[in-house]
Amino acid sequence: MISVEEARALVLALAASPVPEDIAVQDALGRALVAPAVARLTQPPFDASAMDGYALRSADLPGPLQVIGTAAAGVPYQGDTPAGSSVRIFTGAPVPAGYDRVVMQEIVTRDSDAITVADAGANLNIRLKGNDFSEGTAFLPARPLRASDLGLIAAMNVPRVTVARRPRVAVLAGGDELVPPGDTPAPGQIISSNDIAIAALAREAGAEVMVLPLARDTEESLRERFLQAQGCDLIVTIGGASVGDHDLIAKVSADLGMERSFYKLAMRPGKPLMAGRMGAAAMLGLPGNPVSAIVCAKLFMQPLLRVMQGLPPGSEPMHGVLARGLPPEGDRQHYQRARLTPGEMPVVDPFGDQDSARLWLLAEADALLVRPAHDPARAAGDPVLFLPL
């Protein structure tokens, strides 16, 4: 069995280069830029007032100063600015040439057309031209675009951006025991939940997802589903990965020409994970136990989808300390559902029960404690790694 690190490298190697796509900036939330957005203007384009008040010369203080005009956002003051003068100004308006300060109106005493300022304070209240960004500045964050990034790109006067096309993912779950949520399960049947969770994890990582109808436990049904997945960038199967008589994914995918990168790794949960290439698409075969499927999707599927969009893989572990002592680990790297007490050094407290079929425990967990294979017994307070959930 290969290690988690080896498996991760093999999975990431399945990513094809991102496919560029030109879209409107307002549609780019969560998307990955593949070419920089380049500012088409300087911001602010002029020295701008940061306050409602009066623009004036510091050397003329404390006044009295004559108010000789008004400058508003969008309506600059165009006249002269002789010594001893001031201009009524509003936030965002260009500061008239010759003045070096804006005084907030709250600290100004006005008498008819004259103002005096007893104590103007230290702040000049002027946003200098270009203090945010300059024309020609390039913006290319190594993460999905946030709402504030869209505002920045729009302010740069860039109406369209080049992003990675969303990877197209087909989610293929199956098993004779499964019915969709809302159906009434017959004796021996359960509700199919993995396809819903895995599709959501794929969307969270930027993918466009097609969830195929549940497959039956026959080679024919699986073959049909694989054919429906044609044209996708990534096929994610769930279940049927193990060694039982009904675990047909390995056989059917191999029959259809799957070039396997690996099958099985030293990981708990998630041992029967499989990965490879089917034609132009990457393929991940997730184990069927719900927690195993979700943990594998977080560790392998989401990083692969990010790399397909030209982003760093992410899902890097963080540092914490153990809440209590733990026995030695076996021969697989163990991802344990845990509660997290935040702090400068977060405290990680793994649950006693780590059953890989218990979704409820995953819902109660804040983190996955990462314990390397063959980790010796640990004491409370020992440093550990964890993945936040």
Ligand X SMILES: Nc1nc2c(c(=O)[nH]1)N[C@H]1C(S)=C(S)[C@@H](COP(=O)(O)OP(=O)(O)OC[C@H]3O[C@@H](n4cnc5c(N)ncnc54)[C@H](O)[C@@H]3O)O[C@H]1N2
Positions that interact with ligand X (CB under 6 A) = 173, 175, 177-178, 190, 192-195, 238-244, 247, 269, 271-272, 287-290, 292, 356
Q: Does 237 bind ligand MOO (CB under 6 A)?
A: no
- When binding is defined by CB under 6 A, the residue of 63, 174, 175, 269 that contacts ligand MOO is 269
Q: Does 336 bind ligand MOO (CB under 6 A)?
A: no
Kindly report the backbone phi and psi dihedral angles of residue 2, in degrees, each rounded to the nearest multiple of 5, phi listed first.
Answer: -85, 165
Tell me which stretch binds ligand MOO (CB under 6 A): 8-16, 88-96, 154-162, 285-293: 285-293
Query: CA-to-CA distance for 37 and 163, rounded, in angstroms?
Result: 10
Contact of residue 313 among ligand MOO, ligand X, none (CB under 5-8 Å per partner type) = none
Binding mask 341-360 for ligand MOO (x = CB under 6 A): ---------------x----
Half-sphere exposure of 126 (CA within 13 A, CB side): 22
Task: Pick the closer one to ligand MOO by CB: 166 or 268.
Answer: 268
383, 338 contact by CB (below 8 A): no
Query: CA-to-CA distance for 4 and 270, rounded, in angstroms?
Result: 10
Q: Does 268 bind ligand MOO (CB under 6 A)?
A: yes
Within 8 A by CB and 6+ apart from 174, the residues are 214, 215, 216, 217, 221, 222, 225, 237, 238, 239, 240
Task: Pick the closer one to ligand MOO by CB: 165 or 268.
Answer: 268
Nearest to residue 32, comparing CAs of 317, 314, 388? 314
Task: Pick the closer one to ligand MOO by CB: 160 or 358.
Answer: 358
Nearest to residue 292, comparing CAs of 205, 194, 206? 194
- When binding is defined by CB under 6 A, the residue of 271, 298, 337, 371 that contacts ligand MOO is 271
> Least distance in Å: CB of 29 to ligand X?
29
Identify the helix (H) or strand (E) that includes residue 228. helix 219-228
Nearest to residue 174, comparing CAs of 235, 124, 88? 235
Which amino acid is present at 306?
R
> Least distance in Å: CB of 296 to ligand MOO?
8
> Least distance in Å: CB of 370 to ligand X?
18
Q: Does 287 bind ligand MOO (CB under 6 A)?
A: yes
212, 172 contact by CB (below 8 A): yes
Six token digits for residue 258:
């799957």
- When binding is defined by CB under 6 A, the residue of 125, 237, 292, 336 that contacts ligand MOO is 292
Query: CA-to-CA distance for 45 and 33, rounded, in angstroms?
Result: 25
Task: Pick the closer one to ligand X by CB: 197 or 348.
Answer: 197
Nearest to residue 116, comparing CAs of 158, 166, 194, 64? 64
Six token digits for residue 241:
């990965």
Contact of residue 243 among ligand MOO, ligand X, none (CB under 5-8 Å per partner type) = ligand X
Tell me which stretch binds ligand MOO (CB under 6 A): 124-132, 134-142, 214-222, 284-292: 284-292
Task: Pick the closer one to ligand X by CB: 154 or 179.
Answer: 179
| Closest residue to ligand X, based on beta-carbon distance | 288
Query: CA-to-CA distance for 350 and 343, rounded, in angstroms?
Result: 17
If binding means CB under 6 A, how many residues of this protein chain bind ligand MOO?
8
Residues that bind ligand MOO (CB under 6 A): 268-271, 287, 289, 292, 356
